[in-house]
Amino acid sequence: MILTASQALWLLPPVLPICLYVAWNDMRAMKIPNWSVIALVVVFAVFGLIAFGIQDWAWRWSHLAVMLVIGIVANAAGAMGAGDAKFIAAAAPFVALGDAVMVMYILAGCTLAGFVVHRIARHSPIRRMVPDWESWTTGKRFPMGLPLGTTLICYLAWPIVFG
């Protein structure tokens, strides 16, 4: 893993509440608000500079641009929601290029786990606690903010937990 524990310690605390909000709000309303995506970009702009240094920080902005273009194309093709595409683009600078494969594995695991937990919760007493969540009644649609936010949290926590 290229991300160090020191870098992760700078990034995880400000990223964690944003990702938790994105996961919660996507389940509640099936939307990832623009302000949360902007907040993630601002966190990278400030804390990324401290964590990575100017040269690495500057290059990582290209990750945002590349993933935004890919996300726009995927959204236009109907493969993902616009909020998902924007969140992925905003999260991309946090991920070292050399860690991209690992992040894909984390995303796969978080997507599978999130889907299973969400579907079980939809048919459990938990649903009575939050009956107005839009994600309960969207048919086959799934709130990807849940695994996307969880993936970024797991990636940033990994070097802190596992060294």
Residues of the chain with pLDDT under 50: none
pLDDT of residue 40: 98
pLDDT of residue 163: 85
Q: What does 92-159 look like in DSSP terms, one character per residue?
A: GGGS-GGGHHHHHHHHHHHHHHHHHHHHHHHTSTHHHHSTT-GGGGSTT---THHHHHHHHHHHHHHH
Residue 107: which residues within 8 A CB-CB, separation 6 or more? Answer: 147, 148, 151
pLDDT of residue 41: 98
Residue in 22, 75, 2, 15 with CA at minimum distance from that of residue 46: 15
CB 87 within 8 A of CB 22: yes
CB 157 within 8 A of CB 28: no
CB 145 within 8 A of CB 27: yes
Rounded CA-CA distance 101/58 in Å is 22
CB 83 within 8 A of CB 60: no
pLDDT of residue 88: 98
Any idea where the domains of the chain sit in the sequence?
A: 5-162
Rounded CA-CA distance 133/27 in Å is 6
